[in-house]
Amino acid sequence: MPFPSQIAYQSSHGCVSWQGEFALDGAALRSFLGGSVAARLSDAEGGDELRNHLRGLSLTGMGQAALEEVLIADVPEERDWAAGEALAEALLEEHHDVVLPWNTERDKRNPFASLPGADIVGFQRDGDSHRLALGEVKCSSEAQWPPQVMSGRSGGLGHQLDTLAGNLSTICQLLKWLLPRVKRTSHEGSFNNACGRYFNSGRRDLALFGILVRDQEARETDLQARGRSLGGRLQLPTRCHLIALYLPWPISQLPVAIQQEGAS
């Protein structure tokens, strides 16, 4: 189902493009949140796989009761940034031909932990081929344009995209993380194809995404300076897309909205 939105602004500089989108409140938005977004936030696929496997075990009556107690206790994600990541992932899959073969929720030994590396790790379809797709997601309610999460020497969105574009140690760690999750699956060919393109292009053929989730007035100053800065450093065939998603209500309501629609 498409993400219901209206373009507020869009522009580009070099190989970098940026745009702001208003999320349109209504039944279509609620359906999107309750479908793709809720499934990613709760890792519905992984949860179903676990339930089907464990319910196939030979258990006593006491064992069955204990199993159901554990399954019912699955902790729903309630933090704003995690909900923002799930929204961004669903948007990229629906509108930007991005394939995310592994839900990073499965890697959290602590249900309230954050994984290092990149928020977005996967592939982008390009005709009959694929390129690496890497990205970062930020949420901000700050009444400042741009918000502080767009800058900064370590945690800012621009710096993190620079790292994904050029830090060889980060790239190696991400590929090392991704390979065992796609090996012997339908995604292994995409991995090989994307890596071949990346290395044969001198480490330039990849898609970078920076997603900013906001609940403030839409202003191009949220993305423009960072887009121009990245556009002056990145070179084709690298493609970088900055997207600001403006919610019709406070970000703090996003986890609740996703859970409510997912349960309905």
Q: Which tens digit of pLDDT belongs to each residue from 225-242?
A: 999 999 999 999 999 999
Neighbouring residues of 124: CB distance < 8 A, sequence distance ≥ 6 = 96, 97, 98, 99, 130, 131, 132, 133, 207
Q: How confident is the model at residue 262 (pLDDT cuts 50, 70, 90)?
A: low
First and final C-alpha spacing in the chain: 17
Q: Which helix (H) or strand (E) holds 84?
A: helix 80-95
Structure tokens at 27: 């039944």
Q: What is the value of pTM for the model shown?
A: 0.86
Q: Residue 123 pLDDT more than 90?
A: yes
Measured in degrees and rounded to the nearest 5, phi and psi for residue 244 equal: -105, 125
Q: Residue 197 pLDDT more than 80?
A: yes
Q: How confident is the model at residue 114 (pLDDT cuts 50, 70, 90)?
A: low
Q: How confident is the model at residue 64 (pLDDT cuts 50, 70, 90)?
A: confident
Is pLDDT larger for residue 108 or for residue 94?
94
Q: What is the mean pLDDT of residues 21-37?
A: 91
Structure tokens at 197: 């393109």
Q: Residue 264 pLDDT more than 60?
A: no
Q: Residue 143 pLDDT more than 70?
A: yes
Given this model, what pLDDT does residue 105 score? 63
Q: How confident is the model at residue 214 (pLDDT cuts 50, 70, 90)?
A: very high
The strand pair at 16-23 and 120-126 is best described as: unpaired
Q: How confident is the model at residue 63 (pLDDT cuts 50, 70, 90)?
A: confident
Which residues share a beta bridge with 206?
A: 132
Q: What is the mean pLDDT of residues 144-148?
A: 94
For the ranges 78-82, 171-175, 196-200, 207-211, the lowest mean pLDDT is seen at: 78-82
Given this model, what pLDDT does residue 257 score? 87
Q: What is the mean pLDDT of residues 88-114?
A: 77
Q: What is the mean pLDDT of residues 234-255?
A: 95
